[in-house]
Amino acid sequence: MSLYAAFRSIGAYVPEKILTNADLEQMVDTSDEWITKRTGIKERRLAADDESTSDMAAKASQIAMDRAGLTHEDIDLVVCATVTPDYFNMPSTATVISDKLNIRNVQAFDISAACSGFVYALSVARAFVESGMKKNVLIIGAEKFSSIVDWTDRGTCILFGDGAGAAVISATEDKSEAIIDIHASADGAYTDMLITPAPGSVHPMNQANLDAGLQYVQMKGNETFKLAVKTLTKDVKEILEKNNIDAADIPHFIPHQANYRIIKAVGDALGMREDQTVLTIHKYGNTSAASIPMAINDLYEAGGLKHGELMLLDTFGGGLTWASAVLPFAGKNA
């Protein structure tokens, strides 16, 4: 009997505080018009000062577990994708989340793949489940990106937001529920395109590095933009062709929400209609690893995602990393 991995549920947490483009106009030399035209973002959410990545992640995870009809005792692996962990180095955010959810004595670890982290986590969960090693894997994409943004750098501070999304990936013998395919790739030749240089072994935490602002995210925006469009278009076409799926037959194209123009360019290259494409960029900005699960959750809560319907995911981020996935939603209808 073959074992398959099913995407059983989704949950998300959106912080209360809203930062609008008008607010940013007071902080840096920018305008609502520029941000809207170049990115599609109108506002983004910010976590409270005392709200950590794991706080947001635990809330999203509890919803995902409830919707899967599972308790903390059923989860046997916790994987958290984040580049804004509670603690740099250790402990992992996944272990902190496990504690908050009372998930005990199971494997828990973080994945560092920037914006591609959630789809990377999905591929890890699938491998564990299909090998028979785990039954119910909690995967999370959570970011407090505001904690690594330089609020004086208009090239980055207008883009990012905070939030969390989570899903439960469970074993099934029903092939119709199975994740169909996942591509996950990286190219380390582009390390400096999108980077937070410190703290780390290259640039340890010290006053000189702090004074130089190396703890903040740095991005070569325009070059990253061009690579994202080129790479994602190729990758998404390949995953559809490999699985003999026509883009027109995908009801839900759920891309990483980094820039509306990237989403539109990739969607146009695939011939995606607007009603197939899930957009949250206008209200959440780029929430890195949280962006795809937050978008899936929005669709789900709006009643737009039904059991058995196909989702096409694509994402691109620091590393550089990129990933795409085709899978049916195997959860209960909202």
Task: Kindly state the smallest distance separating residue 177's Cβ from ligand UT7, in Å.
Answer: 30
CA distance 157 to 149: 6
Of 109, 105, 82, 81, nearest to 95 by C-alpha is: 109
Give yes or no for a contact between 131 and 138, defined as CB atoms under 8 angstroms apart: no
Residue in 115, 252, 259, 297 annotated catalytic: 115
Q: Which whole-number Å values give the CA distances from 184 to 83, 116, 187, 254, 325, in the listed order?
A: 17, 8, 11, 16, 8
Looking only at residues 96 through 135 of this chain, which bind ligand UT7 when binding is defined by CB under 6 A?
Answer: 115
Give yes or no for a contact between 19 and 46, defined as CB atoms under 8 angstroms apart: yes
Task: Kindly state the smallest distance separating residue 240's Cβ from ligand UT7, in Å.
Answer: 21
Nearest residue by C-beta to ligand UT7?
221
Task: Kindly state the smallest distance separating residue 225's Cβ from ligand UT7, in Å.
Answer: 4
Task: Kindly state the smallest distance separating residue 149's Cβ from ligand UT7, in Å.
Answer: 12
Number of residues that bind ligand UT7 (CB under 6 A): 19
Look at residue 249 and give its three-state secondary structure: helix
Residue among 99 and 153 whose Cβ is closer to ligand UT7: 153
- Write out the two tokens for 53: 């990545």
- Write out the two tokens for 295: 């978008």
Look at residue 319 and give its three-state secondary structure: coil
Candidates 12, 47, 77, 262: give the one binding ligand UT7 (CB under 6 A): 262
Judged by CB under 6 A, the stretch of 61-69, 122-130, 199-207, 223-231 that binds ligand UT7 is 223-231
Look at residue 333 and give its three-state secondary structure: coil
Judged by CB under 6 A, the stretch of 76-84, 143-151, 254-262, 272-280 that binds ligand UT7 is 254-262
Give yes or no for a contact between 43 and 20, defined as CB atoms under 8 angstroms apart: yes
39 binds ligand UT7 (CB under 6 A): yes
Residue among 129 and 140 whose Cβ is closer to ligand UT7: 140
CA distance 143 to 118: 11
- At position 5, the amino acid (one-letter code) is A
Phi, psi angles (nearest 5°) of residue 288: 55, -125
Q: Tokens 């991005």 sit at which residue?
A: 219
225 binds ligand UT7 (CB under 6 A): yes
Task: Kindly state the smallest distance separating residue 316's Cβ from ligand UT7, in Å.
Answer: 5
| Binding-residue pattern over the window 270 to 289 for ligand UT7, x denoting contact by CB under 6 A | ----------------x---
Confirm whether 115 is a catalytic residue.
Answer: yes
Confirm whether 307 is a catalytic residue.
Answer: no
38 binds ligand UT7 (CB under 6 A): yes
CA distance 103 to 118: 20
Residue among 4 and 260 whose Cβ is closer to ligand UT7: 260
222 binds ligand UT7 (CB under 6 A): yes
CA distance 230 to 189: 16
- Write out the two tokens for 290: 């949280």
Phi, psi angles (nearest 5°) of residue 107: -65, 135
Judged by CB under 6 A, the stretch of 62-70, 88-96, 217-225, 321-329 that binds ligand UT7 is 217-225
230 binds ligand UT7 (CB under 6 A): no
Look at residue 39 and give its three-state secondary structure: helix
Look at residue 4 and give its three-state secondary structure: strand
Confirm whether 183 is a catalytic residue.
Answer: no
Residue among 171 and 262 whose Cβ is closer to ligand UT7: 262
Looking only at residues 136 through 155 of this chain, which bind ligand UT7 when binding is defined by CB under 6 A?
Answer: 154-155
Binding residues for ligand UT7, per CB under 6 A? Answer: 30, 34, 38-39, 115, 154-155, 158, 221-222, 224-225, 228, 258-259, 262, 286, 316-317
Enzyme catalytic residues: 115, 256, 286
